[in-house]
Structure 1
Amino acid sequence: MTFIDAAAQSKTFGRAWQDLATGFGKRELWLHLGWQDIKQRYRRSVLGPFWITIATGTMACALGGLYSVLFGLPLAEHLPYVTLGLIIWNLINASILEGADVFVSNEGLIKQLPTPLSVHVYRLVWRQVILFGHNVIIFVIIAVIFPQPWKWTDLSVIPALALIVLNCVWVALCFGILATRYRDISPLLFSLVQLLFYLTPIIWNDQMLQEQGAGTWARIIEFNPLLHYVDIVRAPLLGADQEWRHWAVVIVLTVVGWVVTLLAMRQYRSRVAYWV
């Protein structure tokens, strides 16, 4: 078999799918590595990863309390709203920004340990899921203080979280491959995500826009995809009525994202080791 034939065989959807399946099969490896990342980061710390929980909780209380006073919103409604927005945002934000550097930061392992590329992405997403679980404690405390009007249909938060995690995987894979080849993508994503934070209803809501007469902005912000991702998780946890347009947008973006990611893996998966 010639080098050209071998290269052609590596650029198939079968090889791309095999990478994903084989990587997922190595669960013991990436589950262990993800947990070790957190332990190593907070080594010799008394509170460990709960420092992130404390920081998120402090910011949520400060922003929730401030904006509820500024705009005359009930604290019992706005504080849980802001808290969940920040918790969900942290998961999405880390998957995008850390995902862009996932292969560069694992250069040593990629060159020395023959494992599927997806292992490093699963490790990253698993680490963020653990941190998300820590941060949810903040909302649980707030929900005890300000009970939410939950109903059985709010169990849709489970498939919503599954969709978020599924999207985190393709985002990290896709941006990780592209940012490894083009290093300018990582700082570009940082600036873009920072902008999207202010255009996503996290510390503000539609009611604020309407009261300020900014209905045009509300229509423009509909084109922000992160709005829809945040809402499918936040709405059921707040016991609010769900808008199915958010689900439709997220499902469509999930399918499109995975198609693009499989194309990127098919074409460039074998080159990542040379780019890092």
Structure 2
Amino acid sequence: MTVAYGHQRVLDGLSVAISRGGITALCGPNGCGKSTLLRSLAGLQPLAGGQVLLEGRPLQRLTRRERARTLAVLAQANETPPGLTVTELVTHGRHAHRHLLGGLSAEDRRAIADAIEAVGLTAEASRPVTALSGGERQRAWIAMALAQQCRVLLLDEPTTWLDIRHQVELVDALRVLNHTRGITIVCVLHDLNQAAAIADRIMLMKNGKILHDGTTGATLMPGPLRETFGVEMWRLDHPASDLPVCLPSFGPVVGQVSGTQA
């Protein structure tokens, strides 16, 4: 597929296949096309050429209801109306399954409660979303996507602006959802160590192209990382697991500033 903003081609003839039931992380420097690729996969970005197939069917030929029952996408920032409770937010995820003039069915209520429980927010179900912590808010939005009973979940930088604790909680929640429900997850991530912790496949992007595409162990190596980010990176082994840990090799301090001068 090809995506252009004006005369500038952001993605130029890019071909990619997402593995069913896996977790794929899109990583790369700012402006490399990660979010554009994710939006294109979701059908939110007009294409200048090519097409997106969802389970073998052209995405543009699916009705909005058919698409919503298969695929859910969460943007980098989500605005929540004041006073909306967790349950009310998650209920919006059932629109693709409900009749236009009907109320919530027993199946709808089960799906809503199940989605809230899956992200660990049952005790907060009646609380306003705006009263939750950042990590809890992100999980509430993920619960809304789960209520759609989607098979594919697309996330654009889901851990941005979260502190370390809430980043860990969200990554763990996504891993559990993938393992227990088989949901295919594609996420844009800046943190390579988060990508190593959650993904079984990593795509390293630069200038609208996929430079490296493979397992965590194959892609998070000094050579591919240097080519992608233009800096030297250390690849270490986590002391408690087989996961790689990536650290930038900071250069020597060449000067020091002390005090201030008017």
The normalised TM-score by structure 1 is 0.22
| More contact order relative to length (CA 8 Å, sep ≥ 6) | 1
The normalised TM-score by structure 2 is 0.23
Q: Which has the higher helix share?
A: 1
